[in-house]
Amino acid sequence: MNILWIKDGKLGHEKQVKVLLDELSKTIDIKVYEEEYVIGPLQRYSEILTYAMNGGVYDQDLTNLKYHKKNIHLIIGAGSNVYPRILSIKDGIRSQYIKDILAVSILVPSYFKTHFDLICAPKHDRHKLSGHEAVYFEGSLAKVSTGAVDENVGLIAIGGKNKHYLFNVNKIMEQIEFVTSIYPNKTWHIFPSRRTPHKMIQAIEKLAQSSKKIIISEGGFDEMLSKASIKIITQDSMNMVYESLSTKGSTILFNMKYLRKNKVIKQMNELLHNKQVGYIEYNEMVKGLNKIKIHMQNPHHEVFAEVEKLAYKIKNKLNLS
């Protein structure tokens, strides 16, 4: 099977598609072609309008001929920027070459939902797909690892300013200092993100200078995530939370105040309620004196395998073999 993957340049989207394709490749002989399609919001709105009017976003003859020769069977992608592109290629090949080609969306398209052959969506977006053909997974898709962890390794993953939670640098730093102090024998690998404020970077750099057991890491996140015996994650980073839950070791959430209730907050609260993650309790007793305590997740928790379940559903749904 030949698959065309339309990529939008966003790491969170591309990682989810990649792990799904990797999982499908374990049981299906596939060849993946990739197309980088990084556009801005104005071009996206223009293409949505163009597709709505005539089903074409660009020069159909040249583009679709190229992909027809590659004998593409399925087109896949995640993100608002790539959905019109996926449908345009599909419709162009079908109309010009009368070929049975499938369009698959990872995450929920804002437009043209009925034009996709299959939509793969997180359960918290189920309300957006009433009456549409869809298969569901929990949270986000992540590579599954069941290898043994290293009790001497810990990981801290930090997001940044976002629309879901208040990102209080001082409060998060206090929790980092607490965690690293109660596990002094572990080597802690701290992974900031592109959203992490400069003030936070400076604070963790200063902390790292005070201890050889604290390392600021830029690469090797996936490898270290599967190796760490305990992972502390900021709640604004849903993808990182589910990546952590898809590996062994304990997953703990930083204490953060939410700004307003939405699907992300509800999803994190559900994980907390079910004890699928642990959390840091942070209470101000009196001014300048805080109580910090770690509540561990259920010790009998199972490694999440959402990508494996989704790959199985897709194969059954589309009769892939």
Residue 67 pLDDT: 75
Q: Is residue 231 part of a domain?
A: yes
Residues 15-42 pLDDT 10s: 999 999 999 999 999 999 999 988 888 8
**pLDDT, position 243:** 96
The pair of structure tokens assigned to 74 is: 């399925």
pLDDT digits (tens, 9 = 90+) for 107-134: 999 888 988 999 999 998 988 887 777 9
Question: Based on the structure, what is the number of domains in the chain?
Answer: 2
CB 110: neighbour CB atoms within 10 A? 11
CATH of the domain at 278: 3.40.50.2000
Q: What is the domain extent for residue 223?
A: 150-295
133 with 228, same domain: the answer is no
Q: What is the pLDDT of residue 247?
A: 96
Do 242 and 188 share a structural domain?
yes
* Domain membership flag for residue 119: yes
Model pLDDT for residues 54-66, shown as the tens digit of each residue: 655 544 555 666 7
Whether residues 61 and 117 fall in one domain: yes
Question: Tokens standing for 181?
Answer: 């102090």
**CA–CA gap between residue 84 and residue 51 (Å, rounded):** 7
